[in-house]
Structures are given as structure tokens and as C-alpha cells.
Structure 1
Amino acid sequence: MFFLRQVYESFLFAYQALRSNVMRTTLSLLGVSVGIFAIVAVFTAVDSLNNKIRKEIDSFAGSGVLYVGKWPWLMQNNYPWWKYLNRPEMKYTEFKYLKEHLENAEAIAIMDGGRTANVSRGSNSIDANMTGASYEYNQITSTPIQDGRYFLPIESDNGLFVCIIGAKVAETLVDGRSAVGEIIKVNGIKFLVIGVIEKKGEDMLNFGGTPDEKVIIPYTTFAAVFQKDKPAPDIAIKAFKSDDGQAALEGEITGMMRSLRSIKPKQEDNFSVNRLDGLQAFFDGIFAALNIAGALIAGFSLLVGGFGIANIMFVSVKERTNIIGIQKSLGAKNYVILWQFLFEAIFLSLIGGVVGIGLVVLITLIPQEALPLSLTAGNVIKGLFISSFIGVLSGIIPAWVAAKMDPVTAIRSK
């Protein structure tokens, strides 16, 4: 009850301070509002960017997927390409063996791409990113079909001339009509369109080209027609969802590949099993640096706001010196006076923090296609905690001065 009464009285004092001089209090709280707005806005923008990039990575590479290939995915400046140049490329026979024998794999697909192809129908044409993929490709990466269907196993295994195209490719070739069932040319070779990928829009990272500008054909067709001289595929393998699913799958893949390629115990692997951890760790470092930089910049505004709160509290102590003397003469302890003014400083700072968070909420309501902003409960709590902390720092000295006053001297003051 004592604590609640102190909170209630401190709230009343804070309200009276705000009401007695609205302009002075508003200007003093402006620094806290701007600082909290800046910090929460930075946290919100970085979190939204982080979520968008992670979704794009999962959409491109799949969640819980391992990629077996010639080249390791290393995020470093001096990439030692010479160490891996003479490694053998992955083979279709290795893909078939892994598909038949892996026990910890939920799905496995072989894919190759990264090359631009001219796609045309009549006088309409567009340059698109061509990918050759086996049947389970849509279980590895997100490939939602909005019109038509996905490959059949017989089409994928027997190298039929069918394709799935992106939404932008379809719009360019058929002028708004359904592209399913149309015959198009990919680098001059005829393909039957069996499906159109759901329109996604521009990707921020643009891994492998936007899905809207893709042409996906069976891997066997791709390898036989477009890259028969030097195929360079990757084998994508999705682990079962479990705590150690990826680790168990990685160990199983490594053992099988070493056995397939007759690698002796002391010899290094001549293949790489890649996962997204390195890429995600790379972006985590960037986001951490952005958060720190944003917090430091916003900290200057909070410093100004803290001085504003301290100024209000010193004025409040001076204006209520006589009341402090009366309270202490009636038996109020030092800690009661201390908490009274400290709570008042915290409440004033929280008002500024709430205003700053409110401004961030208004920004998140503005439609943003490129980077939709989403204010999380965690960032709201961070903002309120920081504003409360600023209130404590700003109010502790004025509250201490008030608590240490001599009651006789305080009562005689005017």
C-alpha cells in the first residue's frame, strides 16, 4: 500500500508540474521524445530489415537446407579460390545415390543455373534467369504456382521440354492472358509452359534473380541441352525438422561423399557441404553494428533530454522546498522524499518515451512496399525501459538534494 500511495502521489506531482508550466515541461521532454523515437525507430528498422532479409534467404535457399557443391560459401575478402578450382563438379549419379541412401533427408534436389537466357514468343521477348532443377526443387525452396502446375516426376526424370516461368516473364510474353499451354522459346529452343510462379516483386538481396524473371526447366533437360559440356550443379538436401537434424544430415552426407569419391582418411574433402549459418552470421554482424551506431546517435538526444528532466526536477524541488520541510517535520523519512521526486522524474521521462514510441507507431502505419516496418513488443519495452532509466539518472540528484534538506531551513524558505 505504501508503494502504491507513493506512486499515486508522484503521479499527481508530475501531473501538476506538467500542468503548471506546459511550455517549459514540453520543451524539456522534447529531448527524451526525440531520443526514444530515434532509438526505437532504429531498432524497428533494423529488425524489419533483418526479418525481410532472412525471409528472402529462406525463400531463395530454403530453411534447414544443406548445399553440396564444389565451392564453399565463405564470407571473407580474400577468397582462396585456387584451393578449390581443381575440385570435381557434382555429378548426377552422386545425386541419385544420395537420394536413394540418405536417411536424415526430408527432400533432395539437384539444380544448376545462374545464366541468362532469352525467352521469346512471337515478337515478345525478355531476358530471364534460367534454372535447371529436379522434381523436389519446390520442397527445397519456395516456388508457389499461381497458374498451372509444377513438374511431374516423369517430366523431371526424362528431360522433357516443359518449363515454369515467372510472373513478369508471363506478362511480357502473353500480354495478360494465361501463359499455361503456350509454346515459348528459351534460347531458340521450344518449351511448353506448364506453370506460372506467383508474383513476388523485387527482392532486396536479389539472390539468383527475382522469381518473377525466372524460367525453371527440368535439370536433365538443362544439363543435356544448355550445359552438356561442363555441368556445375549443386545438390540441395533438406534436413528433417529436429534439434540436431542439420548436424546429423551433414555428417551423413560427408561420410557418403567421401566413400563415393574414394577419399582416404587423411585426405581433405574435395567437396563442400554449405549451410546458411555463415551468411546469416555475416548479416547478424551488420545488424549489430547498425543497432550500436543508431543507439549512439540517439544517445545524444537522450543526453539533452536527461538534462531537461533534471532541470524540471531542480525547479520542482525549489518550488516545493517549503512543502518538503513540512513533510519532514511531520515525520516523513528521507527515503520517502527521495522516492517521491525520483518517481516524478521517471513519470515525466516515461511521458516523453511514450510520445516517441507513438511517433514510431505512426511511421509504421505508412504503407511501405520496399521495407514494411513492424514495431515489436520487445522494442516498445526497450523504449520504455530506456526512458525510465533516463528518468532515474536525471532525477536521482535532485531527489537526493530534496531528501537531505534540513526541515527547519526548508520550512523558513520562501
Structure 2
Amino acid sequence: MKFLRQVFESLVFAYQALRSNIMRTTLSLLGVSVGIFAIVAVFTAVDSLNGKIRSEIDSFAGSGVLYVGKWPWLMQNNYPWWKYLNRPEMKYSEFKYLKENLTSAQAVAIIDGGRTASVNRGSSSMDINITGASYDYNQVTSCPINEGRYFLPIESDNGLNVAIIGSKVAENLSNGESMIGQVIKLNGIKFSVIGVIEKKGNDMLGFGGTPDEKVIIPYITYATIFQKDRPQPDISVKAFEDDVNQQNLEGDISGMMRSLRSIKPKQEDSFSINRMDGLNQFFDGIFSVLNVAGALIAGFSLLVGGFGIANIMFVSVKERTNIIGIQKSLGAKNYFIMFQFLFEAVFLSLIGGLVGIGLVVLITLIPQEALPLSLSFKNILSGLMISSFIGILSGIIPAWVAAKMDPVIAIRSK
């Protein structure tokens, strides 16, 4: 109890010392405020960018989805593109077989896109990105419908001339009226609009162009009209949620595809099964580097703030040498003296940290459409822990010097 009481008294002494020197306290915590602001702002920006990119990847690729195609996505050293060039393209019959026989899949879709077409209605026209997709497309990737509806199975299976258009396409062609049921022309061929996709804005990564300028039609219709002699489809397969890392699904797909293409046991696959893990790992590396680089840059500001606090603490020890001598002559223990100055340094650093975090909070309140910033509890806690550590580091030597003073010499000082 005596120890705890003395620790509390040390806290009170530290608080009173800070109150008695408001101007010095304010100036000394500015360096820490700038440093904590910089480091927390960097972490917040990187985390927000990371979240934005992950969200776009999930929106584009879907969560737990495997892509069966001709080309592997990961470009490694000595990438044998000539070998992949000779592989056969994915076939609609292969998609149908997988869809009918893959019991480990939640949904299977065939998708082809990336081609530009001209869309017009009356005198209004624009260039768009056109995608051909089978019925399960909205189950393997995000396709939120704002107005109208999605494809019916009969429309997809029979290749009817129906289209789901992006919000920007609807704005340019509508003339202020609903586009549902209206007839548009894609490269001069008539299509009936059945749905309008929710407005999303530009993708940061630009996967397949913005969905606002996209038109989606049934895959069979797309293959008949737009694919011609350049088919480049992928078969997208969504796993069940309990299939961790999609290992079971990948094994089933590989076995069925090898059987379909009569690949012998010792022969290489003539197809690739791609997943977003490689892209996620790529971004993990980038964000790790950004975090380290940002922390180092912000750390210099924090270092300056730490030196500022240490300098102030040495001045404070010098000013209160006589008081230290009196306290020690009355029986004050070394840890009691040490805690006074250590708590004062930590208080200074923590207040500076709170000010820096408060500045980051103000920035996150500014509306930003391109990259909304969100300050996480983890980053707040990191900022407070770093500022506390800087306070301890800055105050430990001055506190040790104060605690080791000879009481007789300290009392005689002026």
C-alpha cells in the first residue's frame, strides 16, 4: 500500500509540474504531436487503401472463386508464354460439363469480355465494355441491380437479345426516362434492356473497366455475335463456404478437366486454375513496404519530438534539484523521485499523441470519394503505445539522473 501511495503521489507531482509550466508543456509536446500524427496518418492511409483494393478485388473476382482458363495469372521468371499460347481455349461444352457434375461447387459461370462495342439509342451513343456471361454470373461476382431485374434462365440458355446496362450507359441513353424495356443497339444489333446496374464509380484498379460503362448480355448471344474467331472465356467456379482455401474444389476441377481433355497422367495440364491469392500476396508485399517506409519517415519526426521531451526533462531536473534534495532528505526513495520525472515525460508524450490522433480524426471526417479514410482502433492504440514508449525513452535518463542525486549536494544547489 505504501508503494502504491507513493506512486500516486509521484503522479500528482508530475501533473502539478506540467500545470505550472503550461507554455513549456505545450511547446515540448508539439514535436510528439507531429510525429504521432504522421505515423498514424500513414498507417490509416495504407489501411484504407488496402481495404479499398481488397473490396474491389472481391467485387470483381468474388470471394472464394476459382478461374479456369488458358493462361496462368502469375508471371514468374522465364514465363513460357509460347507454351501457354498453344493451349486450347475454354469451351462452352466444358463449362456445361463442370456445371452439371461439380458437386463441390456452389455456382459455375462462363464469362468473356474486355471487348469494346458501340451502343446507341436514337441520336445518343457511346463506347462501352461488353461482357458475355452465363446465368450464374451474379453468384460468382457482384452484380447489384438498381432498376429492373437480372437474366432469367430461359433468356440465358436460349441466347436472347437482352441486356443489363451500367448506370452511366443508362444516363447517356435515357433522356430522363427509365431504360427498362427500351431497345438499344450494340454494334447495330437490337437488344432489350431488362436491368440497370447500381452506380459504383471508377475502380481504383480498373478491373475490366468501370461497371458503370459496361453492358452484360447472355454468353450464348455474346459468343454468336461478338466472339467470332477470338474466344477467350474463363470458367468461374465459386466454392462452398466450408471449403477452406478451395482445395477440394480445385482438385475436383483439375480431375474433371484432365479427364475431359484426355490428358495422360504424366502430361502437363493444358489449362490453368487461377485464384486471387497471388494478387493478394502481391499487394500484401506492397503494403508491408509502404507501412515500413511510412513508419521510418514518420519516425524521424517522432525522434525529434522525443529529443525535445528529453531536453525539457533535463531542464526540469535542473530547476527542481533543490526540491529533489529536500524530498530525499525527508526519506523519499529513489523510485519515488524517478517516477515523478518518468510520469511527467510519459504525460507529455501521451498528450502529444492524443493531439496527433485528434488531427487524424479531423482528416477522416473530410468527405473523400476516391479514398475514404477510416481510423481503426488498432491504429489509435498503436499511436498511444508508441507515444508512451517515446515518453519512457525520453524520460528514463533524466529520471535516473534525478533519482541518483546526492541529497546534500542537491539541497545546496541554487
User: Could you say which residue in structure 1 is the equivalent of 2:160?
Assistant: 160
What's the secondary structure of 1:95's corresponding residue?
helix
Aligned equivalents of 1:180, 1:297: Cα separation in 2: 54
Shift of 1:5: 4.0
Give the aligned partner of residue 176 of structure 1.
Answer: 176
8 Å Cα contact 1:75/1:279 also seen in 2: no
Residue in structure 1 matched with residue 100 of structure 2 by the alignment: 100
Using the alignment, how far apart are the partners of 2:69 and 2:3 within structure 1? 65
Corresponding position of 1:221? 221
Matched, 1:293 2:293: yes
Distance 1:171 1:184 in 2: 13
Change (3 A) 1:53 1:6: farther
The answer to whether the 8 Å contact 1:65/1:275 transfers is yes
Q: Is there any run of 5+ residues in structure 1 with no aligned partner, and where? A: none
Instruction: Tell me which residue corresponds to 2:131.
Output: 131
Q: SS in structure 1 opposite 2:375? A: coil
User: How far does the alpha carbon of each residue in 1:117-139 deviate from its partner, in whole angstroms, 9 at most, with x for none?
Assistant: 10100110011110000001001
Match of residue 53 from structure 2: 53
Matched, 1:406 2:395: no
1:77 Cα offset (Å): 7.5
**Distance in 2 of aligned mates of 1:400 and 1:19:** 22
Q: Name the counterpart of 2:394.
A: 394
Q: What's the CA shift string for 1:335-370, capped at 9, x where partnerless?
A: 232223212211110010000000000000101111
When the two structures are superposed, what TM-score results if normalisation uses the length of structure 1?
0.97
Partner letter of residue 203 of structure 2? D
Report the counterpart of residue 279 of structure 1 in structure 2: 279
Report how far residue 323 of structure 1 moved.
2.1
Name the SS of the counterpart of 2:125 in structure 1: strand
Residue 89 (str. 1) matches residue 83 (str. 2): no
Of residues 311-320 and 347-356 in structure 1, the stretch that sits farther from structure 2 once superposed is: 311-320
SS of equivalent residue, structure 2 residue 63? coil
Q: Is the 8 A contact 1:14 1:348 kept in 2?
A: no
Q: Greater shift after overlay, 404-413 or 367-376?
A: 404-413
In the alignment, is the contact (CA less than 8 A) between 1:104 and 1:245 conserved in 2? no
- Structure 1 segment 5-44 matched on structure 2, within 5 A: 5=5, 8-44=8-44
Q: Please name the residue that 2:267 is paired with.
A: 267
Q: Which runs of 5+ in 2 are unaligned?
A: none
TM-score normalised to the size of structure 2? 0.97
Q: CA offset at residue 392 of structure 1?
A: 1.0
Equivalence for 2:351: 351
Q: Is the 8 A contact 1:17 1:25 kept in 2?
A: no
Query: What is the distance in 1 between the residues matched to 2:106 and 2:394?
Result: 57
Write the distance in 1 (CA, Å) between the matches of 2:6 and 2:91: 75
Q: Deviations over 1:92-149 (max 9, x none)?
A: 1111111111121111100000011101001100111100000010011111101100
Change (3 A) 1:253 1:231: same
Contact 2:201-2:212 at 8 Å conserved across structures: yes
Q: Is the 8 A contact 2:166 2:212 kept in 1?
A: yes
Shift in Å at residue 6 of structure 1?
5.0
Shift in alpha-carbon separation, 1:50–1:384, aligned structure 2, 3 A = same
Q: CA deviation at 1:264?
A: 1.1
Residues 239 and 19 of structure 1, relative CA distance in 2, 3 Å threshold: same
Q: Deviations over 1:157-183 (max 9, x none)?
A: 111000100000001011221101001
Residues 9-61 of structure 1: per-residue CA shift (max 9 Å, x gap): 34433433333333322222111100000000000000000000000010011
Distance 1:310 1:32 in 2: 11
- Structure 2 CA distance for aligned equivalents of residues 178 and 405 of structure 1: 84
Report the RMSD for the aligned CA atoms in angstroms: 1.5
Please name the residue that 2:335 is paired with.
Answer: 335
Q: Which amino acid aligns with 2:193?
A: V
With over 3 angstroms needed to count, the CA separation of the structure-2 counterparts of 1:373 and 1:77, relative to structure 1, is: farther
Checking the alignment, whether the CA contact within 8 Å between 1:239 and 1:245 is kept in structure 2 is no
C-alpha distance in structure 1 between counterparts of 2:16 and 2:68, whole Å? 68
SS at match of 1:109: strand
Runs of 4+ off more than 6 Å: none
Aligned runs of 1:206-245 on 2, under 5 Å? 206-242=206-242, 244=244
Distance 1:9 1:216 in 2: 72
Report if aligned partners of 2:10, 2:337 keep a CA contact under 8 Å in 1: no
Look up the match of 1:62: 62
Q: Is the 8 A contact 2:14 2:340 kept in 1?
A: no
Aligned twin of 1:247: 247
Query: Matched residues, percent identical?
Result: 81
Aligned residue for 1:84, secondary structure, equals helix
Q: CA deviation at 1:2?
A: 5.5
1:331 Cα shift? 2.5
Q: Aligned letter for 2:282?
A: F
Whether the aligned pair in 1 keeps the contact of 2:11 and 2:340 (CA below 8 Å) is no
User: Structure 2: which amino acid aligns with 1:184?
Assistant: I
